[in-house]
Structure 1
Amino acid sequence: MPAGRARGVSIEDVARAAGVSRQTVSNAIRAPHRLRAETLERVTALIEEMGYRPDQSASSLRSGTRRVLAYTTPETDPANPNALMSGFLEALVSAAGATGYRILLVRPRPGQEVVRALEEVIAARTADAFLLSDVVEGDPRVSFLSETGFPFAVFGRTGPELPQAWVDVDSVQAMIDIVGLLAERGHRRLAFLGMSAELPWLRHRTEGFRTGVRRFKLVAHEATADEPEEAVDVARTLLRRQPRPSALVLVDDWLAPSAYAAAQAEGLAVGVDLAITGFNDMPYARLLQPPLTTVRLPLRRLADALVSRLLQLIEEQVAPEAGLLLPAEPIVRASLP
């Protein structure tokens, strides 16, 4: 719609056209979690059709909020960026923008403790809440924000005694599903290649693998590797076990190129002699030959749920009583015969 026409559209015009209250239109923009799905869809469609744009400056003055969410971005190598977290950031910007909020990226200066960076944002009053990712046990960011009472939500999980405004992937069930797919296709002997890092998401995936093996009464052997060359050697050792495993389950797609190289070195055709599965559905997973069966994280649903929880904290001052687990989706490709 032309900009001149859009400027003449008021919130009352949208409410009248939708047959709802002014507050319902406001909720569709700023607190979509309050509305039923069909109402939200109808009102949002009219907002776009009529070209209504709220006055953000006036809204901020009335509410006392900046309409900014601070995200502490994980470090990554610019020459080899983390595609998964880049996808999450894109989903987060989209989810926040749909509610009238912007994302402020926060990272400590070289040599600065991460808590000091959070303190600076709070002191400058440049954000209404924090979003944290890559959270580990005893994470100083979680401890600090819990103590200060400043609103925050977590992509990951917090301990039972800490605020429960978290959303995470049900990695345990996702790995059980992968093992179940292998069992359905007749694979009885599995190998699992993990990583030694004590990270919650890796631990959950390992737990899911072991649970799946017990549930489907399979035989499995495990090993870990943290470098590509090491992963090739470790995977070859797993594949030399007798009787040989017919499937190699990886804790992360990052290990897939090494696993494929190990299979080739052992004279095994992936997708014919050996099944290989991964986790995360990184962009290169579909480019491997054959393409990798893996698990896709619901990044848009994660971002939407996190922003919704942050709005609860900011606009309603209501703290969620429990975290939220979202299912992941197995993506079956030719590496799973």
Structure 2
Amino acid sequence: MTEGTRPARRATTIADVARAAGVSRQTVSNALNAPHRVHPDTLARVTAAIDRFGYRPDQSARSLRTGERRTIGYLAPVDDPFDPNPLMAGFLEALVDAAGAEGHRVLLVRAAPGEARTRAAIDDLVAARQVDGLVLADVLPEDARVAHAARVGVPFASFGRTAPGLPQHWVDIDNAAATAEIARHLAERGHRRVGFVGSVVRTPGGPADGPADAAGSSPRPQAGPDAGPGSVAGAPAELPWLAARRAGFHREARRLGLEVVPVPEAGSLRTLLRGRDRPTALAADNDLAALDVYEAARAEGLLVGRDLAVTGFHDTPLGRHLYPPLTSVRLPLRGIAAALVGLLLAQVRGEQVTGAGLELPTELVVRASSG
């Protein structure tokens, strides 16, 4: 042995813990995996020995015995590392925390573009027994990932609603209800002429391309006062959650008797904000689109919060640092992640999962931008 070196310390085994606590190896195993089966005095003795030795169970051995990998696969949406999507970055943080609270890790997987490659990525994970199940995000109604996961029988849970006829293992928000709340908020602030600024985020050419996120890296206002999927000639179809936000705002604004002003195409916001007939409030379907409104208002000499109310969606850090700070809809990312993990692990445990998915409420965070 070279001078100054020490022999490697032997890893503590379950037998070491059992001897120190004066119990059998099975009792130690029960204390770790089914503590309700162990007498409280014995459990306290075993726990003290585990803490004293710093014992950590061999997860690979556990996986061989139980079939569980204690790993959740997350098919990460495509993103730009130089302009990352803050909403989905926040969701990933929440997902890692939620999985960790249940003793699981998260394995990030990104399939190459194309439906066949997406299917292959799922098949590889299943064949290699690397994960207990999958979490999917940015799910479209007709989504190849959902259809294939259901077909091969891998447990999954999706952030976004799945199509009828497929397992309804989803968690989502009510986008229309969230923007309806914005319309009510603006009406309560005395606004009578309002508009909705949408984003040109194209519905992918098919699920093979992979869904694009609503808070894409560079959304810009979309044409048309009532643009829904395919409703504006020559305009790209909106993603379903963006269409729901637009519809919810327009429906509630008109119910309240507000005048909904048509919002022109990108580059024309300044024209919209000129003259006496301009809207006094604009709601954007995400925070980056709201930033465009800020820029147009400043260019026209208008002060956001005084001359023009502006709201966003997602409550990303960007909005909090604008001047004035942006009123925006906050998604319950931690609640969504925890619900997805719970839904997924229920399937892994073989529990019957029924129902039509889970819808969680959003929160309108009011700041100075809406007056």
Query: Common fold, TM-score beyond 0.5?
Result: yes
Seen in structure 2, the aligned counterparts of structure 1 residues 52 and 290 have a Cα distance that, compared at 3 Å, is farther
Alignment of 1:146-165 (within 5 A): 146-165=150-169
Selected match of 1:63 from 66, 74, 79? 66
User: Is 1:334 matched with 2:360?
Assistant: no
User: Is 1:309 matched with 2:313?
Assistant: no
**Residue by residue, what CA displacement relative to the aligned partner does 1:98-131 show, whole Å, maximum 9, x if unpaired?**
1111111111247772121111111111111111
Sequence identity of aligned pairs in percent?
A: 49
User: Is 1:216 matched with 2:256?
Assistant: yes
Structure 1 Cα separation of the partners of residues 113 and 150 of structure 2: 25
Secondary structure of the 2:368 match is coil
CA deviation after TM superposition for structure 1 residue 57, in Å: 4.2
Conservation of the 8 A alpha-carbon contact between 2:264 and 2:272: no
Q: Report the residue type matching 2:139 in the other structure.
A: V
Q: Under a length normalisation based on structure 1, what TM-score does the superposition of the two structures give?
A: 0.81
Secondary structure of the 1:244 match is coil
CA deviation after TM superposition for structure 1 residue 271, in Å: 0.6
Q: Report the residue type matching 2:361 in the other structure.
A: P
Conservation of the 8 A alpha-carbon contact between 2:283 and 2:290: no
CA deviation after TM superposition for structure 1 residue 287, in Å: 1.1
Selected match of 1:171 from 163, 175, 178? 175
Structure 1 Cα separation of the partners of residues 304 and 268 of structure 2: 17
Secondary structure of the 1:312 match is helix
What runs of 5+ residues in structure 2 fail to find an aligned partner?
Answer: 1-11, 22-27, 41-50, 203-237
User: Is 1:132 matched with 2:136?
Assistant: yes
Conservation of the 8 A alpha-carbon contact between 2:314 and 2:330: yes
Seen in structure 2, the aligned counterparts of structure 1 residues 73 and 15 have a Cα distance that, compared at 3 Å, is closer
Q: Report the residue type matching 2:191 in the other structure.
A: H
Structure 1 Cα separation of the partners of residues 264 and 354 of structure 2: 37
Answer 1 or 2: which has greater helix percent.
Answer: 1
Which residue is 2:213 aligned to? none
Matched pairs, number: 303
Conservation of the 8 A alpha-carbon contact between 2:73 and 2:135: yes
**Residue by residue, what CA displacement relative to the aligned partner does 1:10-50 show, whole Å, maximum 9, x if unpaired?**
5866999xxx8349x9xxxxxxxxxxxxxxxxxxxxxxx99
Secondary structure of the 1:278 match is strand
Secondary structure of the 2:89 match is helix
What runs of 5+ residues in structure 1 fail to find an aligned partner?
Answer: 26-48
Which residue is 2:90 aligned to? 87
Which residue is 1:21 aligned to? 36
Secondary structure of the 1:160 match is coil
Which residue is 2:284 aligned to? 250
Which residue is 1:180 aligned to? 184
Alignment of 1:225-264 (within 5 A): 230=266, 233-240=267-274, 242-264=276-298
Seen in structure 2, the aligned counterparts of structure 1 residues 317 and 222 have a Cα distance that, compared at 3 Å, is farther
User: Is 1:145 matched with 2:176?
Assistant: no
